[in-house]
């Protein structure tokens, strides 16, 4: 297929859409005579009559209609491809809608968004936070930062950071309650329950050093759907909590929290950056994802504790 033939296909599509030679001439910026010449050349190349025409009207033949229906989609794809390449040349632009889990969003992602828009001022960012399921379609999202990989196979997920989990309590709580030697002892304690998307809720799965599993149904007088409320409760000595290391590591380092049952480890809840799988990812999404991956990696290397967790 020659470039000239592609041009003549485009003329033919516009002619059928316009319905009149004069209207097509106005859209294409060509004279009716030039359009007629190109149409005749196309019909000669294909060996088929595409349009019956006279001085007053034109009528698309059955063969012409079949060709138009195929070409209309193909020409649209070509235009989308050209637009995608053009946008890459222009650089990222347009509003970016980002969703994140509450705790990580408030403490890390919000700061990185501020840095991102300073670097890319032509990309305004709308940041939505919540410990709940997210939906790309109904919420019009471009990117999500979530725990675990999505079930939807049409989405792309890249691990953003490891997220080690611990059982923790305050020294004050532990000093006034029975000792903890095995997972079953948790049943005799006030356990703080986080009841939100991707949380363990009141069933805490633990694994010992030999790989044996210990699933414990815990009880407690305090339940919340907010991870920061849970953190404050455990700091206040209200009970035992299952928390992400990135959120409480500094309090462990300061001695305000103590790891409980260190021989029994909860599963990790790693964070992923998620975005729709597209043939042509918008430049704004691409640069934001790469920016996040790069900055989180730098943060991990800069502030990771030397003695403990394999995250942040």
**Distance (Å, whole) CA 312 – CA 309:** 8
Please give the pLDDT value at position 178.
93
**Distance (Å, whole) CA 149 – CA 158:** 8
Please give the pLDDT value at position 292.
95
Please give the pLDDT value at position 12.
87
Query: Over the stretch 43-63, which tens digit does the pLDDT of each residue have?
Result: 888 899 999 877 667 889 999
Q: Same domain, yes or no, for 86 and 12?
A: yes
Query: Over the stretch 164-182, which tens digit does the pLDDT of each residue have?
Result: 999 999 999 999 999 999 9
Q: Same domain, yes or no, for 177 and 250?
A: yes
Q: Same domain, yes or no, for 139 and 284?
A: yes
User: What single-letter DSSP state applies at residue 183?
Assistant: G
Query: Over the stretch 251-306, which tens digit does the pLDDT of each residue have?
Result: 999 999 999 999 999 998 899 999 987 666 888 999 999 999 999 887 665 434 33
Q: Same domain, yes or no, for 144 and 277?
A: yes
Say yes or no to pLDDT of 84 above 80: no
Domain membership of residue 25 (yes or no) is yes
Say yes or no to pLDDT of 310 above 80: no
Please state the pTM of the whole predicted model.
Answer: 0.63
Decide which of 39, 61, 90 is a domain's last residue: 90
Q: In this structure, what CATH number is given to the domain that contains residue 154?
A: 3.40.190.10
Q: Same domain, yes or no, for 258 and 287?
A: no
Q: How confident is the model at residue 86 (pLDDT cuts 50, 70, 90)?
A: low
Tell which phi-psi region holds residue 269, choosing left (phi > 0), alpha (psi between -120 and 50) or beta: beta
Q: Same domain, yes or no, for 105 and 86?
A: no
**Which tokens in the block code for residue 202?**
């009141």
> Who wins on pLDDT, 79 or 180?
180
Kindly provide the b/e burial profile for residues 278-297, where b requires at least 16 CB atoms within 10 angstroms of the residue's own CB. eeebbbbbebbbebbeeebe
CB-count exposure of residue 203 (10 Å: 0-12, 13-18, 19+)? exposed
Decide which of 67, 90, 113 is a domain's last residue: 90
- For the segment 183-212, the average pLDDT, to the nearest whole number, is 91
What sign results for the dihedral spanned by CA atoms 180, 169, 271, 136? positive
Q: In this structure, what CATH number is given to the domain that contains residue 28?
A: 1.10.10.10
Q: Same domain, yes or no, for 72 and 8?
A: yes
- For the segment 22-31, the average pLDDT, to the nearest whole number, is 84
Domain membership of residue 33 (yes or no) is yes
Domain membership of residue 19 (yes or no) is yes
Query: Over the stretch 134-160, which tens digit does the pLDDT of each residue have?
Result: 888 888 899 999 998 888 888 999 999
- For the segment 3-21, the average pLDDT, to the nearest whole number, is 81
Mean pLDDT for all residues in the chain: 86
User: What single-letter DSSP state applies at residue 274?
Assistant: E
Q: How confident is the model at residue 4 (pLDDT cuts 50, 70, 90)?
A: low
Pairs from 117-121 (Cβ < 8 Å, separation ≥ 24): 119/291, 120/92, 120/284, 120/287, 120/288
Domain membership of residue 311 (yes or no) is no
**Which tokens in the block code for residue 302?**
């800069």
Q: Same domain, yes or no, for 212 and 261?
A: yes
Domain membership of residue 310 (yes or no) is no
Say yes or no to pLDDT of 3 above 70: no
Please give the pLDDT value at position 74.
82
Q: How many domains does the chain have?
A: 3
Please give the pLDDT value at position 90.
64
**Distance (Å, whole) CA 173 – CA 263:** 20
Q: Same domain, yes or no, for 143 and 179?
A: no
For residue 53, give the nearest of 18, 9, 28 by alpha carbon: 18
- For the segment 175-201, the average pLDDT, to the nearest whole number, is 92
Q: Same domain, yes or no, for 256 and 176?
A: yes
**Which tokens in the block code for residue 205?**
């799965």
SS3 261: coil
Domain membership of residue 308 (yes or no) is no
- For the segment 238-248, the average pLDDT, to the nearest whole number, is 93
Domain membership of residue 194 (yes or no) is yes
The full DSSP string for 77-100 is HHHHHHHHHHHHHH---S-EEEEE
For residue 245, give the nearest of 266, 273, 275 by alpha carbon: 266
- Which residues constitute the domain of residue 175? 165-265
Please give the pLDDT value at position 55.
60
The full DSSP string for 95-115 is -EEEEE-HHHIIIIIHHHHHH
Please give the pLDDT value at position 311.
28
Q: Same domain, yes or no, for 18 and 152?
A: no
Percentage of the chain exceeding pLDDT 70:
88
Range list of H helices, the chain: 3-18, 21-28, 32-46, 62-90, 102-104, 110-119, 136-139, 171-175, 227-235, 245-254, 283-303
For residue 303, give the nearest of 107, 146, 114, 149 by alpha carbon: 107
Q: Same domain, yes or no, for 260 and 276?
A: no
Domain membership of residue 181 (yes or no) is yes
Q: In this structure, what CATH number is given to the domain that contains residue 199?
A: 3.40.190.290
CB-count exposure of residue 196 (10 Å: 0-12, 13-18, 19+)? middle
Q: How confident is the model at residue 202 (pLDDT cuts 50, 70, 90)?
A: very high
């Amino acid at each position: 297929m020659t470039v000239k033939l592609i041009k003549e296909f485009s003329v033919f599509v516009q002619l059928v859409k316009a319905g009149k030679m004069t209207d097509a001439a106005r859209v294409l910026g060509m004279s009716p005579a030039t359009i007629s010449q190109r149409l005749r050349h196309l019909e000669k190349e294909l060996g088929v009559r595409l349009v019956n025409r006279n001085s007053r009207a034109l009528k698309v033949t059955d063969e012409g209609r079949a060709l138009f229906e195929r070409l209309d989609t193909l020409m649209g794809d070509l235009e989308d491809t050209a637009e995608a390449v053009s946008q890459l040349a222009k650089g990222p632009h347009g509003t970016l809608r980002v969703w994140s889990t509450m705790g990580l969003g408030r403490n890390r992602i919000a700061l990185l968004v501020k840095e991102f828009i300073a670097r890319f001022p032509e990309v305004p960012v709308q940041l939505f936070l919540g410990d709940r399921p997210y939906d790309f379609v109904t919420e019009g999202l471009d990117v999500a930062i979530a725990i675990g990989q999505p079930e939807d196979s049409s989405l792309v997920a890249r691990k953003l950071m490891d997220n080690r989990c611990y059982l923790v309590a305050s020294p004050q709580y532990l000093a006034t309650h029975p000792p903890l030697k095995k997972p079953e002892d948790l049943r005799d304690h006030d356990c703080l329950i986080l009841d939100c998307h991707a949380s363990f809720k009141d069933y805490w799965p633990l694994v010992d050093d030999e790989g044996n599993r210990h699933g414990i149904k815990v009880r407690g007088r305090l339940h919340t759907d907010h991870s920061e409320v849970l953190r404050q409760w455990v700091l206040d000595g209200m009970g035992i909590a299952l928390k992400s290391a990135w959120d409480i590591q500094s309090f462990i380092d300061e001695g305000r929290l103590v790891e409980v049952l260190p021989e029994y480890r909860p599963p990790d809840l790693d964070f992923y950056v998620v975005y729709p799988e597209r043939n042509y990812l918008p430049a704004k999404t691409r640069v934001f994802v790469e920016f996040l991956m790069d900055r989180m990696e730098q943060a991990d290397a800069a502030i990771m504790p030397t003695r403990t967790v394999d995250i942040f």
